[in-house]
Amino acid sequence: MLKNCRTCHSLFTSSKYDICPSCVEAEKQLVVEIKTYIKKHRQATTLEIARDVGVDVTTLLAMVRDGRLKMMG
């Protein structure tokens, strides 16, 4: 089944994701970048992480909600 990627809107063959393989790879790289940042800046707030990594706060929170990132107390 063909779908439009919710991120870049390109047409792709449906997979278990709502995004195309290119965007899946880009998101995986972004998660690695965010985790690396958090390891170096353990006391960083959500806003600081978003600003310094260059990601939207809503995207960052969606990654937490989806289980790709974990919030620490």
Model confidence, pTM: 0.81
pLDDT of residue 73: 60
**pLDDT per residue over 2-35, tens digit each?**
999 989 999 999 778 888 999 999 999 999 999 9
Kindly indicate the confidence band of residue 71, based on its pLDDT and cuts at 50, 70 and 90.
confident
Poorest-pLDDT segment among 24-33, 43-52, 60-69: 60-69
Read off the pLDDT of each residue in 37-56 and give the average, rounded to a whole number.
Answer: 95
The DSSP secondary structure of the chain, one letter per residue, reads -EEE-TTT--EEE--SSSS-HHHHHHHHHHHHHHHHHHHH-TT--HHHHHHHHT--HHHHHHHHHTTSS----
- Average confidence score pLDDT of the chain: 91
